[in-house]
Amino acid sequence: MGITEPDENVESRIRAAAALIRSARYLTAFTGAGISVESGIPPFRGAGGLWDRYDPRTLQIEFFLRHPDQAWPVIREIFYDNFGRAKPNRAHEVLSAWERDGWPRGPGSSERGFLKCLITQNIDNLHYTAGSRNIAEFHGNSRLLACLSCGARVEAHADLLKNLPPRCPCGGIYKPDFIFFGEGIPEAAHAKSQEAADLTDVMLVVGSTGEVYPAALVPRRASDAGAKIIEINPEPSEFTGSITDIHIPLKAGDAFRRLQEELRV
Ligand code: NAD
């Protein structure tokens, strides 16, 4: 049973969520593909999703290793040409501002709270571009390329992607530094997420179906450890009926605008 009832209106949910954020000692956020939809990046699945247009095989690690010359043109189109044009939206910007400047603890209070950790499943770099720095990139990112031979990491500049597959000076092939189907979660990001889940008292869960594992275990672990879960998603998810305390059924941009307004009151 959540803090708010399913039939309570959105306004009272925003007020209840803002009160939780105001009082949070260790606020964290967990984001999924939905937070980037208003930046023009479609989710993978569902109508209009990426897999309507592209073959998901190109992101299977075995296929990539065997046929980098076939996989790379598709990868460049999705993750560098298309994602590369996207700009952070209000939701990314508010989360970045909460990490950098915090939010007022309450009317007249000079004390501020700060977003302590942002865990994202996204690989579009939009949190980073918006200025967030304390990020656990659970699935890696497309900002960097990693050499399959020597392990060197470099920024994915357009020049490097002119001739495919891109190659490291050592002769090895570069792979985007996000995980492909069949690969494990990056160790450092995994450890950072576990720590955040254990420490947090309030977690925002934004734009995630909760169907992708093991990522979906992060908010579940936080809830098990006693954290309150505020979910922002226009649709119900796997989290909604199970761990969510307050569901704000709005698009991420609208929800963060209204939360910001409420926190300034
Ligand atoms: P997902 O499981 O992350 O779910 C997308 C969710 O976003 C849905 O519940 C949907 O209702 C919600 N949503 C849609 N519009 C929204 C909005 N405006 N505001 C808030 N929520 C909104 O999505 P998926 O597409 O199945 O992704 C699976 C995995 O694929 C992700 O975990 C991620 O690693 C990867 N992925 C990343 C990106 C990206 O980097 N932007 C894009 C697609 C997929």
Rounded to 5°, angle at Cα 201 from 198 and 203: 90
**Which of 30, 35, 37 most suits a substitution to test ligand 1, by most atoms within 8 Å of the C-beta?**
37
Integer-rounded Cα Rg, in Å, for the chain is 19
Ligand 1 centroid–CA 209 distance in Å is 7
Alpha helices, DSSP H only, in 24-152? 61-66, 68-75, 83-85, 90-100, 126-130
**Dist CA 227 CA 108 (whole Å):** 27
| Residue whose pair of structure tokens reads 């009160």 in the numeric block | 19
- 231 burial (CB, 10 Å; 0-12 / 13-18 / 19+) is buried
To the nearest 10°, report the CA torsion of 151, 153, 156, 160: -60
- 82 burial (CB, 10 Å; 0-12 / 13-18 / 19+) is middle
**What DSSP state is assigned to residue 243?**
T
Ligand 1 atom at minimal distance to the Cα of residue 139: 34
Q: Are 234 and 10 in contact (CB under 8 A)?
A: no
pTM: 0.94
Q: How far apart are the first and last CA of the chain?
A: 28
Ligand 1 centroid–CA 34 distance in Å is 4
Catalytic residue among 139, 157, 190, 247: 139
**Dist CA 114 CA 245 (whole Å):** 21
pLDDT of residue 55: 82
Ligand 1 centroid–CA 166 distance in Å is 28
pLDDT of residue 46: 64
Ligand 1 atom at minimal distance to the Cα of residue 49: 25
Q: Are 250 and 10 in contact (CB under 8 A)?
A: yes
**Dist CA 104 CA 237 (whole Å):** 30
pLDDT of residue 265: 65
Alpha helices, DSSP H only, in the chain? 10-23, 61-66, 68-75, 83-85, 90-100, 126-130, 187-199, 217-224, 252-264
- Specify the 3-state DSSP secondary structure of 38: helix
Q: Are 128 and 143 in contact (CB under 8 A)?
A: yes
Q: Look at strands 115-120 and 135-137 and give their pairing.
A: parallel
139 is catalytic: yes
pLDDT of residue 45: 67
Residue ranges and CATH numbers for the domains of the chain are: 1-41+87-139+186-265 (3.40.50.1220), 49-85+141-178 (3.30.1600.10)
Over its length of 265 residues, how does the chain's per-residue pLDDT go in tens digits?
Answer: 477 776 679 999 999 999 999 999 999 999 999 999 999 998 876 667 777 778 888 899 999 999 999 999 999 999 999 888 899 999 999 999 999 999 988 878 889 999 999 999 999 999 999 999 999 999 999 999 999 999 999 999 999 999 999 999 999 999 999 999 999 999 999 999 999 999 999 999 999 999 999 999 999 999 999 999 999 999 999 999 999 999 999 999 999 999 999 998 6
